[in-house]
Structure 1
Amino acid sequence: MKLSPMTKSGLKSLSLFAAAMAFATPALAFPVTVDNCGTPLTFEAAPERMVVQDINMSEMAFALGLQDRMVGVSGISGWYKTSEEFERKRGDIPEIAPKYPTLENLVAADPDLFFAGWYYGMKPGGDVTPDTLAPHGIKTLILTESCIHLDKARPAASLDLLYGDLLRLGTIFGKEVEAQALVDGWKARMAELAERIGDNRDMKVFLYDSGEDKPFTAGRFAMPTAMIEAAGGRNVTADMETSWGTTSWEAVAAADPQFIILLDYQDGGGADKLRAFLEAHPVMSQTEAVKNARYLPLRYEELTPGPANIEGIERLARAMHPEAF
């Protein structure tokens, strides 16, 4: 079949356009440098063999379609029950350790990147740190929320913890456009939510993670503080100068929370066990939230930095402010 001069000209233009687009592809934008708890981390090329710690960080990677770059996950089956959707996205990616991986676990998987955080797979001075992994050719991308354990000058938690980490992943893997589109969509949902809630933002909220002698909960630097604020409330333990930590039942009861989030680990009784404990507790049973049975169970991945934060905030806002929906 002969092509007309116009068709030939059009094909030539398309070929030139395709060549230009190929030249402009993000894969050719390397090296890239991202902030890593205040230290620059440079990549000469996109990682090819990543291990990801925890369900929340795994969901960040899944959101960008990075499964083909993942050679392992860790810290999931030892603590959580996963959804069918999570397992579908995970596919045949193996779990190298049910809780915290050892240095040997990671070296055996032969990754070039470990995406984890302080007390999300790593402990300061522990067996697995960026310094112990570096001699094995493994770079470490640190979850920003966890940087507070090394840098006490960090700002209070905000949704930028989620947005920034997803954008960093996009930069590292040459998926800036996809990452920005996700973040823009999340911001639009949060803006719509803020408009619904309006100025009704004074509800006192307590997050009960675990613990009986002392409650383990979220402080100023933990993601739930930002989530509670986005949902139209204020965290009664936001004055704790930590991310996650313990306080006293007397302090929580004195704050008289009006609403309680129960971290539902879905094992050992989960949220039902936490609720029963609060209702039998001598001081917590007298708080407004417990007396009025105002609770919402949220899963671990909804309360730690990850894509599930957005739906978690929306669920929390509906439960706290049903009149706005």
Structure 2
Amino acid sequence: MKLYLTTAILSFAATSAFAQTTVQSCERTVTFDAPPKAAVSNDINLTEMMLVLGLTDRMVGYTGISGWNKLDETMRAGVAELPELSEQYPSKEVLIGAEADFYFAGWNYGMRVGGEVTPETLAPFGIAVYELTESCIHIGGTGARTAASMDDMYNDLRNLGAVFGVSDRAEALIAGYQADLATYLADLPPLPDAPRVFVYDSGEDAPFTAGRYAMPNALIAAAGGENILDDLDKSWTTVGWEAVVAANPEIIVIVNYGEVTAAQKRDFLVSNPAFANLDAVKNDRFVVLEYVEATPGPRNIEAVKTLAAAFRIN
């Protein structure tokens, strides 16, 4: 996969002298006097951000992947030398036991509001926390009042670069991603209208989907579409099927992960008489994104390309 070609051939020797660095993490400002040396990341997409920045030598492990997702060949190679400290969300004891000094996670990406693992509960043990930008909506505040955008992912790469003293590497990655995506989209024919898109994560009684603050909203917009729930002031959330039927999506994006396969999710939608008149079902317009593509991370670039191409197929 092209994603790692650049970083794989670089020698990640010690960086130049590190100046004290302060980054914004949701509603907190976090200051680092030195780069972390024993980092832990949670979830497959956050771990991949660490990998593309070449930070595995600064990590003592990762958490929260095998409980929900499977590592593909690229990810397996990237974390081959690292242990999975917890299959799902780690406990405070797991992070302390690993002698971690940094935890890259998010709200509902390894931390829960009011849970035992938060920036406040880890601080007494010398574990600094950087929070995933997309997840800030779960704790409110001024930093969480705009819809999700591609800049959320770029912001996290940029802040991680600053924290670990590899800002040049981060900026080069961001510039490359932006140029790659701009070139790809410029070569596509224009869309006559933005297609109406529904994101189907899971659930049969009520669908778990993406509102305006979830990353698929940004991916759909970047590809030229419109999330039918763009006006829903939520991130990943559950809605009623009535809202989906009323909006009549032209395209359904299925998020592939967990025990129920993308094919099974599609079969459920196609076989249910309640959805028979949806344009997406009638015209068999389904797009599958892997979890690691639909959540903030480097594979968002390929996700936008996949969606943009699918939006232009009649």
One-letter code aligned to 2:32: F
Give runs of ≥4 in structure 1 deviating > 4 Å. none
Q: Say which of 66, 82, 85 aligns to 1:77.
A: 66
One-letter code aligned to 1:30: A
1:288 aligns with 2:279: yes
Q: In 2, Cα distance between the equivalents of 1:201 and 1:167?
A: 34
Q: 1:201 to 1:106 in 2, by over 3 A?
A: farther
Q: 1:224 to 1:201 in 2, by over 3 A?
A: farther
Q: 1:123 to 1:197 in 2, by over 3 A?
A: farther
1:133-212 alignment runs, 5 A limit: 133-153=122-142, 154-195=145-186, 196-198=188-190, 200-212=192-204
Partners of 2:53 and 2:170 within 8 A in 1: yes
Q: Say which of 211, 214, 232 aligns to 1:219.
A: 211
1:250 aligns with 2:242: yes
Q: In 1, Cα distance between the equivalents of 2:292 and 2:276?
A: 28
Partners of 2:39 and 2:103 within 8 A in 1: yes
RMSD across aligned positions (CA): 1.4
Q: In 2, Cα distance between the equivalents of 1:248 and 1:52?
A: 33
1:305 aligned partner: 296
Which of 1 and 2 has greater Rg? 1
Partners of 1:166 and 1:179 within 8 A in 2: yes
Q: In 2, Cα distance between the equivalents of 1:38 and 1:81?
A: 32
Partners of 1:201 and 1:229 within 8 A in 2: no
CA displacement, residues 147-185 of structure 1 (integer Å, 9 cap, x when unaligned): 001125421111000100000011111111111111111
Partners of 1:219 and 1:245 within 8 A in 2: yes
One-letter code aligned to 1:281: N
Normalized per residue, the structure richer in helix is 1
Q: Say which of 105, 114, 121 aligns to 1:125.
A: 114
Displacement after TM superposition at 1:284 (Å): 1.9
Partners of 1:148 and 1:221 within 8 A in 2: yes
1:91 aligns with 2:80: yes
2:222 aligned partner: 230
Displacement after TM superposition at 1:190 (Å): 2.4
Q: In 2, Cα distance between the equivalents of 1:269 and 1:145?
A: 25
Q: Secondary structure at the match of 2:252?
A: strand
Partners of 1:202 and 1:232 within 8 A in 2: yes
2:252 aligned partner: 260
| Count of aligned positions | 298
User: Structure 2, unaligned stretches of length 5 or more?
Assistant: 1-13
Q: In 2, Cα distance between the equivalents of 1:213 and 1:226?
A: 26
Q: Say which of 93, 116, 138 aligns to 2:105.
A: 116
2:5 aligned partner: none
1:8-23 alignment runs, 5 A limit: none
CA displacement, residues 249-283 of structure 1 (integer Å, 9 cap, x when unaligned): 11101111000111111x42410111011112232
One-letter code aligned to 1:123: R
Q: Secondary structure at the match of 1:245?
A: strand
Q: 1:313 to 1:190 in 2, by over 3 A?
A: same
Q: In 2, Cα distance between the equivalents of 1:37 and 1:269?
A: 33
Q: In 2, Cα distance between the equivalents of 1:273 and 1:296?
A: 14
Displacement after TM superposition at 1:291 (Å): 1.0
Partners of 1:112 and 1:139 within 8 A in 2: yes
Q: Percent identity?
A: 47
Q: In 1, Cα distance between the equivalents of 2:252 and 2:115?
A: 34
Q: In 2, Cα distance between the equivalents of 1:66 and 1:33?
A: 19
Displacement after TM superposition at 1:297 (Å): 1.1
Q: Secondary structure at the match of 1:253?
A: helix
